[in-house]
Amino acid sequence: METRADTVASFINSASQSDSQLLRKIEGLAISADAKAVLADLLKLASRVGEQVLRIGRKVIDFVLSLMKHFPTLTFTALVAVVVGMLLAAVPVLGAVLGPALTPLAAALGIAWGAKAELDSPDLAERVRAFAAGFSGLAV
């Protein structure tokens, strides 16, 4: 009989794509080579918990790519909002004062705007079901 710990470990170690597929997706991203190297290193991140080895990095990357696939508008607006917040925080003097407030505010507004756009989408229920199905391995 499989224990709860075995179920969680098998969920964490599972991924919808193989390591080589994830590496190809990382290489296809429009980001710097340094960022790609960091993501490739994250893909290899694992941790030993008791008797189990958990491939945490692979699960994180798989989760983020799945989130991007199922909710592209939300992902895009959140990313743009975070970038805008960071740019505002980089303004000399004024950014140092307002940055700690503006960056989280910009992120929250971007997430809210993206979520509103996703809610207006007619196929949202289907995409949420497909995304949630990826967590069926954790059901008790």
pLDDT above 70 covers what percent of the chain? 96
* Nearest of 53, 54, 51, 24 to residue 40 by alpha carbon: 24
pTM, to two decimals = 0.71
* Nearest of 59, 73, 52 to residue 19 by alpha carbon: 59
Burial (CB < 10 A; 0-12, 13-18, 19+), residue 71, is buried
Report the run of H or E that residue 14 belongs to, with start and end.
none
What is the arithmetic mean of pLDDT over 9-17? Answer: 78
Write out the two tokens for 68: 């991007």
* Nearest of 3, 5, 138, 133 to residue 69 by alpha carbon: 133
**What is the predicted pLDDT for the residue at 134?**
78
**What is the predicted pLDDT for the residue at 139?**
65
**What is the predicted pLDDT for the residue at 137?**
65
Side chain identity at 119, as an amino acid letter?
Answer: L
| In the block, residue with structure tokens 């949630």 | 132
